[in-house]
Structure formats: C-alpha cells, structure tokens
C-alpha cells in the first residue's frame, strides 16, 4: 500500500466559533482508495500558509510512502532539513500526517486505532467543557462570577462532572506578570461561587494560560486552595518548566499543563523537574497519536495522569478519544460543550456523548469521517489567527 494523494481543507468555524476561528484538516488517499484524515492544531501562521506547509511536506516525504511505516515516516519528517527540534510548526504538520496514516491503517485492518495500541481499557470517557456564553446573555460569563456559577450548575444538570473557566484575564505578549489585587479577588469569587453552585457534584478546573510569574501563581493558588480545584492549569508560560515546578512544589492544587508543548522531549523535561501532575497534550500539535501514547506511557510510569487538550476541530477530538480509550492513566477528556454544533456537522457520524461521557466509536480507524462537502462550504477568508494574544500591556 502507498499514499498517492494529499488534500488540505482550511475550514472556518462559524459563530460562536467555540474551538477557534478555523481548523486545518488533511486528507490522505492510498492506491487502494482508502482515505485517512488528520488535523493540525494552531500553528502561528495564517491557515492557508499552514495548508501549504502540509502540502510541501506531503510532496517531499508522504506521497508514495507506506502508511503502515508510521515510526519511520515520523523520524524522516522530524529530521528533515537537519532540524530534529520539536517546534510547534513542524510538529503540527507532522501531527496531521501521522493521524491520517493511523486512520488509514485502522481502516485497512478494520479495527479502531485503540485496538492497535493496546486495546480498550474503558467503556466510556469522562469529559469536561469550558463555561461558554450562550445566545441571549446580557452578562459576560468570562467576567461575571454569578453568571459563571449559574452556567456551571446548568452544565452539571446536563451530566458534566467537571467544568473549566479562566477568570484571570486576557493572556498578553507581556506575560508572565503579577495579577492585580482586583483580579485575585475576582478569581477567588469565581471559584467560591461555582463551588457553592455545584457542591461535590463536579470538579472545578481552574484554567489559566500562562499569565503569571511563579510568585504570582503561588499567591493566587493559596487563595483558591480552600475550594479544592482539581487542577491549576498552565500557571506560568510553558517555556520554563523549572518555574512551573516551583509552583507545583508550593501549592496543594495539582498543576496541569501541556497544550503548548510539542513532542515527548518537551514533556520529558516537565517530568524530570516535577512540574506537573496532569499532562494535557494536544494530539494536533504534539506529534500525533503514537507520540501522545508514548507520553502517556512516560506519565504512567511516574504516576501522572493525562487529560488531552481540545480547543480545535473534531478530527483532533477523534484522535484524543482513541488515545483515551486505550490509556489506563486517562483522567478526563476536554470537549467543546457536548460535541454538538459545527463539530458534529463536520462529521458524517458525530461523536457519541451521553450525560457527561464520551462513548468510544467501534468503527475502524479514527471512527469518524470528515464531511468534505461541509468542509468545503465553509472556507476561511479571515486574516486573524486561530487564537490571538493581546498586544497591549495589561492594566494593573
């Protein structure tokens, strides 16, 4: 079997655009007609440029390659141009290609990918979501603790056993920083009121995006500890794991991180210094499914858990479900609400979600198929990136 064709899709995510402004998908086709899909997550370039990067790598290394030789193909692409570095650009491209190869292999063997990586260890996967605004809101769920508490209670009533939110304020080009006293108070109010609203029925996941210095993160965490969050997410930027380790050692809330890391090598540095208890690899950035499985194994040997990140499209989501189904140290899987909306429209068969849990698919490969007609009907024509970092110095 050989790969004979590659095609990319740059898809706009219509309002309310939960999961990002757009998604970049890859389709690989073999000489036997089998199709595999992949997705690259949030490269720091316009998505049309990203699609061109994927097409370039496919033309150089993927066309005429055997999709079963995933490990060899991964090493060839990773080492191309004498790089052997895990930058997010190369790794995002590599993730999409690797994912699509696994989809092909599973379909050829008529087995879900999880059956090829050790087999199913659970019948369902616990899921969580951010608290999101909804149509008709006159208040801002991102800044109003009372509305956030109401929304959390609504989600728990729908079956969620964990909810996430980031009340710390916008992430900026000037991070990390100390938070203002007002921001500390608002963060404490969010956690206190959400805990009062959900009681012991749900875990609280305190999300941040690397806005704080280690000293600032410790200062905030100590105000949150009485409310027992399940995790404190990316308290400092991801580039300095030693500073994150300072936070982890100083607080009782488990530190979770990993969405901006790429490859087992970056995660190994986290493990070496004890910077986190929960690893949040994104399968569209970390190097694909097998790389994520290796990281999950490294975490398991250190008694750590995984909670794969998902603020992107449904193909990365499907890959994360395959990983979670065969990983004994999975804690929980991120989702965009209940996996409905445009995520479901893009798939011929939506992800099966029921009362807070994902039911793993039994179809071969990724278990989902991209609806190419829907993808092509929603081209991205904007100029902004998937996520935008604030360029103004934050107010104190």
- Give CATH for domain 115-365: 3.20.20.120
Model confidence at 87, pLDDT cuts 50, 70, 90, reads confident
Q: Is-catalytic flag, 309?
A: yes
Q: Count CA atoms within 13 Å of residue 323 on its CB side.
A: 35
Candidates 209, 343, 378, 386; catalytic one: 209
Model confidence at 192, pLDDT cuts 50, 70, 90, reads very high
- Bridge partners for 256 per DSSP: 233, 278
- Please write the tens of the pLDDT for every residue from 344-396: 999 999 999 999 999 999 999 999 999 999 999 999 999 999 988 888 777 66
Determine the pLDDT at residue 65.
98
- End-to-end, the C-alpha distance of the chain in Å comes to 60
Distance CA 279, CA 295 (A): 9
Model confidence at 169, pLDDT cuts 50, 70, 90, reads confident
- Please write the tens of the pLDDT for every residue from 272-306: 999 999 999 999 999 999 999 999 999 999 999 99
| Fold match flag (3-111 vs 115-365) | no
Determine the pLDDT at residue 84.
84
What is the percent of the chain with per-residue pLDDT over 90, rounded to a whole number? 95
- Please write the tens of the pLDDT for every residue from 23-61: 999 999 999 999 999 999 999 999 999 999 999 999 999
Superfamily of domain 3-111 in the CATH hierarchy: Enolase-like, N-terminal domain (3.30.390.10)
What is the percent of the chain with per-residue pLDDT over 70, rounded to a whole number? 99
pTM of the model: 0.97
Domain residues of the chain, as ranges?
Answer: 3-111, 115-365
Mean pLDDT on 7-22:
97
Between strands 357-359 and 352-354, the pairing is: antiparallel
State the average pLDDT for the chain.
97
Q: Is-catalytic flag, 209?
A: yes
Distance CA 335, CA 358 (A): 9
Determine the pLDDT at residue 85.
79
Determine the pLDDT at residue 396.
63
Candidates 46, 309, 343, 378; catalytic one: 309
């Amino acid at each position: 079997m050989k790969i004979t064709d590659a095609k990319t899709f740059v898809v706009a995510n219509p309002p309310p655009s939960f999961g990002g402004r757009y998604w970049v998908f890859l389709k690989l086709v073999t000489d036997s007609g089998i199709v595999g899909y992949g997705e690259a997550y949030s490269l720091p370039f316009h998505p049309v440029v990203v699609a061109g990067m994927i097409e370039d790598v496919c033309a150089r290394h993927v066309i005429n390659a055997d999709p079963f030789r995933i490990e060899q193909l991964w090493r060839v692409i990773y080492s191309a141009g004498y790089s052997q570095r895990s930058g997010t650009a190369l790794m995002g491209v590599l993730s999409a290609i690797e994912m699509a190869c696994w989809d092909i292999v599973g379909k050829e063997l008529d087995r879900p990918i999880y059956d090829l990586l050790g087999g199913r260890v659970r019948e369902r996967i616990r899921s969580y979501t951010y608290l999101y605004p909804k149509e008709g809101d006159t208040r801002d769920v991102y800044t109003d603790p009372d509305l956030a508490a109401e929304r959390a209670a609504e989600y728990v009533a729908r079956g969620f056993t964990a909810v996430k939110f980031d009340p710390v304020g916008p992430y900026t080009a000037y991070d990390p920083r100390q938070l203002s006293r007002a921001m500390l108070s608002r963060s404490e109010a969010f956690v206190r009121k959400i805990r009062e609203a959900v009681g012991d029925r749900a875990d609280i996941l305190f999300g941040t995006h690397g806005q704080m210095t280690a000293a600032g993160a410790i200062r905030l965490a100590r105000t949150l500890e009485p409310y027992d969050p399940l995790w404190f997410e990316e308290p400092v930027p991801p580039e300095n794991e030693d500073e994150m380790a300072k936070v982890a050692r100083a607080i009782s809330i488990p530190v979770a991180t990993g969405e901006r890391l790429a490859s087992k090598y970056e995660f190994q540095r986290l493990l070496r210094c004890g910077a986190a208890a929960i690893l949040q690899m994104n399968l569209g950035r970390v190097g694909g499914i097998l790389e994520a499985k290796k990281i999950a194994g490294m975490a398991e040997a250190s008694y750590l858990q995984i909670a794969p990140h998902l603020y992107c499209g449904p193909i990365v989501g499907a890959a994360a479900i395959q990983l979670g189904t065969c990983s004994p140290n999975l804690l929980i899987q991120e989702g965009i609400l209940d996996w409905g909306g445009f995520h479901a429209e893009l798939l011929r068969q939506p992800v099966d979600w029921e009362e807070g849990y994902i039911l793993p698919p039994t179809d071969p490969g990724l278990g989902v198929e991209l609806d190419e007609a829907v993808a092509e009907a929603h081209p991205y024509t904007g100029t902004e990136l998937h996520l935008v970092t604030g360029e103004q110095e934050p107010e104190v």
